[in-house]
Structure 1
């Protein structure tokens, strides 16, 4: 499920630090690495397996959030007649992490990087993820370099990947990249990113796919000491950058399906109950959703800069909760498509932050080079889907509670006040001793929380009293009646 990052300004309140510490203990999440893992990472950083191919002449740049150090991707886009060639360098984690090593075993235990408002809980030790393996500006580093050709309509026409040494020329953040594009000072490559990104967005629309522009939630302190919610909408360049990642994931999936070996990211189509619930949420937030308007087009009509629309986009992530992984070797899995993408797709562009990407990259390198997929990759395929599913559940629980804590922080001073809202789901209808229980969406601030009381009917507009807002527990509850 896509996450919504939470940023707290200017500081993280003690109540949230306390809550996050307790949550990490509950989920058995450990930020610190064992000594043997750190020692192994230091050795690997000093003695990587380097490729013989040198592509340091490519004018690659990275585009990431401000202050990022774990840089997985660098890109260079050039015109080729009526189309484009995308050079997409991905950090080559396998150059540093040996199968069965302490770093490898720890990465399998963690599965992926987790994000809190005040820190990251990394997949790999910082000496690798923020140092030797990262595609930092002016650092020569090993990478898996994809060469992706697209035609004038943005359709993928040719795919290749190989290991090579690369050197990123510059680390841009999203705001700076957008500023250059808007002012006309962007490089030809950055301009090419915009053109390819727009073409790929149209390809997505034509397929019936959808990308969620999840806004970043910010919790600000006001002059009077109170806390309020705000949202930072993604910039257009963030969407174009994401389209390059999606293009690469689709190319990887095609390679693996043709080779009949690999691991895909899958998502079944949304069920009717989930779609009905989303329509109730839209009603609660007073967002018009005509019956004839399909879900993808409804999402594209939302403005992430508008609080209720931002909350609606968060609610739309519930359709991603059936996402999973399908590994295969010799035959094909029963499900090979990702419903939101409306096609086959694989995670392959974030190996510093996600375990499965390293295995997808290694598989694609073998297939592109007409070589056998390494035994250590094949041996891991069977267990990978469950490992990633487990880590995904842990990450979702963690990141969901972070959002809950932030919302509870904002609502805490208003306990006892009445709010107007709409019941968007019923968990329990009540049996005499227990009152009905469900989920309520209020409009200002735009949050969803637990509600009990009577009458409680699906879709009902109610006035509910805020009963609990506990930032440390991430618990918000309302009562009706």
Structure 2
């Protein structure tokens, strides 16, 4: 739930869009092909319309990639059905929609509107898993034992019909009240089991509050929002599916993994050294993931510790294998944040790589050859996805930086109370500085001065420039 909100004035994001060279419209030929596909394509595959799937997304979303149904298995354990929008059925290889999706790479989200990967007639209508309509999907069925361990995986193309479009806030309220309906009532039970297994294998999950911009009439407000438990549980279902996809591809000798090096020992040692002065318990034998999971991000010291822990998660990328130039299974196939091999297969409406990885998984699971169009794309996907990831990150950070500068530009010279999240020692040509967070408005910025990590201190605003999107403080 929102922790702090501050009403913001009108903000123009057009300059950021131009700076990042984000496209305004889809070419006419792309729109025409998408509209024809939306009219002519019919869902195929197994009939699973009797399964009461539901979607859980932010309230305003219409590009719904995933629908779930959770149930208990006879004899114990759980069955997770996870339906993923079947984009490949609507986007033929070699067509104009496919070509445009390679230019875009992924959906870019800005406060004043998204820049979608696919035309809205597909991504927000015909392919989206909207409720009360038959839709094409690739359905993952993952059976778990009573401890959340995977004991069986199947996937297939199918026709489904979602029963409801739910949002995280209402789902959390229903879970808290004990009124959650059958398809998702087990979400916290399964999510907690999966999170425990993740911590045991060394996965690193950072539950940091996120800065977000929300509409407020004609203007904007900056929100510091802590993740809901329902979001964390839902993420575990997606991670479970991504690990199943990675396993299928590794067993089949071809695919596309989302990879990240395991945390470096020196980074773990540095984090452990920071734990004691911040008052964070680190019992002997505890995993990094277990320690992080027990930290309260709502306290200054907890937030500082988690900010330090972000150094563990560096070097994420994509790795193709079973293709020319990378025929063998990669030596480093794991994802340090997940604590296991992992693949992106759950968001094909919003991310290009998922369409191809899903098709590889389907072919391998069915014992047939991977289609040429998917196989031939694999070597190019790491570079394309890495490039568009940088654009998405720049859009996210740029929008927040602009909002922070606009919110504070008339308050230069004022003193604020701030939590110290990180610090850099003085160098030969630079003064000591720190990353600090003020509560109202919810801003994070650099501050010069020798500040104590994990403490609250007074700081003075010295710069707030909307042109350069820069905010700077100094020790008061």
Match of 2:141 in 1: 147
- The answer (yes or no) to whether the contact 2:3–2:226 under 8 Å persists in 1 is no
**Uncovered stretches (5+) of structure 2, i.e. residues with no partner:** none
State yes or no: 1:259 paired with 2:243: no
* Structure 1 position 169, deviation (Å): 0.8
- The answer (yes or no) to whether the contact 1:437–1:450 under 8 Å persists in 2 is no
**Uncovered stretches (5+) of structure 1, i.e. residues with no partner:** none
Question: Aligned to 1:97, which of 76, 85, 91?
Answer: 91
Match of 1:118 in 2: 112
3-state DSSP of counterpart to 1:382: helix
Q: Deviations over 1:421-462 (max 9, x none)?
A: 75945498344xxx547543255556543345xx76996998
State yes or no: 1:400 paired with 2:397: yes
State the alpha-carbon separation in 1 of the partners of residues 54 and 154 from structure 2. Answer: 20
Match of 1:338 in 2: 335
* Structure 1 position 401, deviation (Å): 1.8
State the alpha-carbon separation in 1 of the partners of residues 470 and 354 from structure 2. Answer: 34
* Structure 1 position 396, deviation (Å): 1.1
- The answer (yes or no) to whether the contact 1:426–1:458 under 8 Å persists in 2 is no
Question: Aligned to 1:387, which of 384, 389, 409?
Answer: 384
Match of 1:429 in 2: 427
Match of 2:446 in 1: 450
* Structure 1 position 190, deviation (Å): 1.7
Match of 2:174 in 1: 180
TM-score (norm 2): 0.86
Match of 2:372 in 1: 375
State the alpha-carbon separation in 2 of the partners of residues 148 and 458 from structure 1. Answer: 48
Question: Aligned to 2:435, which of 418, 437, 440?
Answer: 440
Provide closer, same or farther for how the CA distance between residues 236 and 411 of structure 1 changes in structure 2, counting only shifts above 3 A.
same
Q: Deviations over 1:119-158 (max 9, x none)?
A: 2111111111100000000111110011110001100011
Match of 2:279 in 1: 288
State the alpha-carbon separation in 1 of the partners of residues 188 and 220 from structure 2. Answer: 37
Provide closer, same or farther for how the CA distance between residues 219 and 368 of structure 1 changes in structure 2, counting only shifts above 3 A.
closer
3-state DSSP of counterpart to 1:331: coil
Provide closer, same or farther for how the CA distance between residues 304 and 34 of structure 1 changes in structure 2, counting only shifts above 3 A.
farther
State the alpha-carbon separation in 1 of the partners of residues 125 and 438 from structure 2. Answer: 44
Provide closer, same or farther for how the CA distance between residues 155 and 118 of structure 1 changes in structure 2, counting only shifts above 3 A.
same
Provide closer, same or farther for how the CA distance between residues 220 and 51 of structure 1 changes in structure 2, counting only shifts above 3 A.
closer
State the alpha-carbon separation in 2 of the partners of residues 382 and 323 from structure 1. Answer: 17
Q: Deviations over 1:277-335 (max 9, x none)?
A: 8689989xx95335657542343233355577567656654543410111001410121
Aligned length: 463
Match of 1:235 in 2: 228
More divergent stretch after superposition (56-65 vs 178-187): 178-187
Match of 1:195 in 2: 189
Question: Aligned to 1:349, which of 346, 365, 371?
Answer: 346
Cα-Cα RMSD: 3.4
More divergent stretch after superposition (84-93 vs 460-469): 460-469
State the alpha-carbon separation in 1 of the partners of residues 148 and 454 from structure 2. Answer: 45
Question: Aligned to 1:322, which of 315, 328, 348?
Answer: 315
Provide closer, same or farther for how the CA distance between residues 460 and 137 of structure 1 changes in structure 2, counting only shifts above 3 A.
closer
Provide closer, same or farther for how the CA distance between residues 436 and 458 of structure 1 changes in structure 2, counting only shifts above 3 A.
farther
State the alpha-carbon separation in 1 of the partners of residues 272 and 415 from structure 2. Answer: 24
TM-score (norm 1): 0.86
State the alpha-carbon separation in 2 of the partners of residues 189 and 251 from structure 1. Answer: 21
Provide closer, same or farther for how the CA distance between residues 350 and 308 of structure 1 changes in structure 2, counting only shifts above 3 A.
farther
Q: Deviations over 1:42-64 (max 9, x none)?
A: 11111226324211111111111
Q: Deviations over 1:59-118 (max 9, x none)?
A: 111111112101001111121120111111100000111112111111111111111223
3-state DSSP of counterpart to 1:109: helix
